[in-house]
Structure 1
């Protein structure tokens, strides 16, 4: 191995720590030192399966270069026939086993048209059976996490399969890491939704995308709650653009932890000492605030008095 100094940015370090994956951290340091990827297993004394999982984790964290995506289009997929399905059943033992696994996970028999779609995922997209199995399981778990009681349709699974193909997810290790990371993001989004007091409805795609962006920047629940409290204090409620502007500003300044954020807040702010003008970012009707928003404002006032 080469001897060289290694510099790790704060954002990369935060991602590695949040990942809590020792193999991924070791591989990151090995590659950052300019060593050959092909020799990583030998140098780090890891079997290929562990190297593959560590590589997949780094790719999901955006810390490892990915292969050029395929960008396959559904319109360009061949039209598979019943004869194609029959031939695949007869000549490829792997295919009927894959169909049986899909039916077992979905809890029902698939129609011929649905099996044609599976054949397209298998042949046209080139996803191996073990990846397709993880794909189906991921779609099921994602639906449950969103409160859906019905199993996903084959069409929705196909749509996700194209996304995986575009992302270059075509190994069992990459599929497992992607599934774990995405389900964790979904769980974290749900926690933030509860923190905001959004109950009885689903997040809009735009709202969900904003929260996912904040999480990808490295903010946790505490940091987002701090921004939410400042938003309630200054605007009287949950204002998504205002909240996003706070977190974006912290992100651009490298303030990714609550400690750094609070240290920055203790600096003199002339604007904060100026009396608020009527009609500007002030909520005059307290009855319009939710209990969660009132609590957020109380916490901000108490912190300010401290």
Structure 2
């Protein structure tokens, strides 16, 4: 199937430089392309970011970022207070390929802590880096497809940092971005923070899939606990999430035992108190209690004559409550 422009539209036209379609259309963002079209259509009306932002219904910050791309590439120039044009980089001919910019990429067999200060990559430099590396170029296309958007200058900066500064493999980067999308944080800036955190935890390329599975299981466990505790009107706090991870990952308790501890907590404190509930489960773990039956037996006071106090039973329950009240 072929497409042609409706001939009636040719009654009123304006020119678009071939440079735009020959070189930039693949790498510029959708917002950047819209900004340029408005400027080409009527530079007197759309000569400043505010006018363009009003027409496109976008924040001025987004428009400024888009216009920065065209300034950096030499397509646009800005005027000073006296109306004189401020020189910008001259545009390269459409046939001239972008210069190859070497990407410092150390061996990717292991993930190590990067230097303290990471570089930032302006749009023009970022585009050149992507164009000079087929792997990075393919990775960009994959991530844009996953996130359903064209990358901004900030997105490209974060991507190149992950690839060259943090020396992460495409597999690692895709895994991090997949995780961010799954939790509703579809942002390359957030992906960089997550990746830096995982690197700090010593998670390398071989272990990143296992870590992702662990995080998925933790989210599932958190959902089960929220349902069991009737938490539907708020998110869990970081401390509460830490508690839940400990109950399942470290203590290896099943949900039924956690629910029983929840019932005891509400009965004794009159509310859901994660701190008190955690103390109950911690005491059970320390005393080798793994089932509801053992927990019920532990709650019974010792009645044997001459029995030596063991710190369990009702005495232990009393200590837990006293400690909780102090805290």
Q: What TM-score, normalized to structure 1? A: 0.59
Aligned residue pairs: how many? 201
Match for 1:112 among 150, 153, 174?
153
Give the stretch that moved more between structures: 177-186 or 258-267: 258-267
- Alignment partner of 1:100: what SS? helix
Q: Which runs of 4+ in 1 moved over 6 A?
A: none
Q: CA RMSD in A?
A: 2.8
Counterpart of 2:282 in structure 1 is 248
Offset of 1:83 from its aligned partner? 4.5
Which structure has the greater CA radius of gyration?
2
User: Is structure 2 residue 218 aligned with structure 1 residue 185?
Assistant: yes
Instruction: Give structure 2 stretches of 5+ with no counterpart.
Output: 1-109, 303-312, 319-324
User: Is structure 2 residue 120 aligned with structure 1 residue 79?
Assistant: yes
Q: Distance in 1 between matches of 2:245 and 2:271?
A: 21
Offset of 1:168 from its aligned partner? 2.8
Counterpart of 1:96 in structure 2 is 137
User: Which structure has more helix as a fraction of its residues?
Assistant: 1
Offset of 1:206 from its aligned partner? 2.2
Q: Kindly provide the CA deviation profile for residues 258-281 of structure 1, in whole angstroms up to 9, marking residues without a partner as x.
A: 34434433563455999xxxxxx9
Q: Distance in 2 between matches of 1:128 and 1:163?
A: 16
Q: What TM-score, normalized to structure 2? A: 0.55
- Alignment partner of 2:207: what SS? helix
Which residues in structure 2 correspond to 1:10-159 (within 5 Å)? 70-72=112-114, 76-143=117-184, 151-159=185-193
Q: Distance in 2 between matches of 1:181 and 1:94?
A: 28
Higher RCO (C-alpha 8 Å, min separation 6) = 1
Cα 1:273–1:114 change in 2 (3 A) is: closer
Does the Cα contact within 8 Å between 2:155 and 2:188 map onto a contact in 1? yes
Q: Kindly provide the CA deviation profile for residues 241-261 of structure 1, in whole angstroms up to 9, marking residues without a partner as x.
A: 211110111122232343443
Match for 2:209 among 176, 180, 202?
176
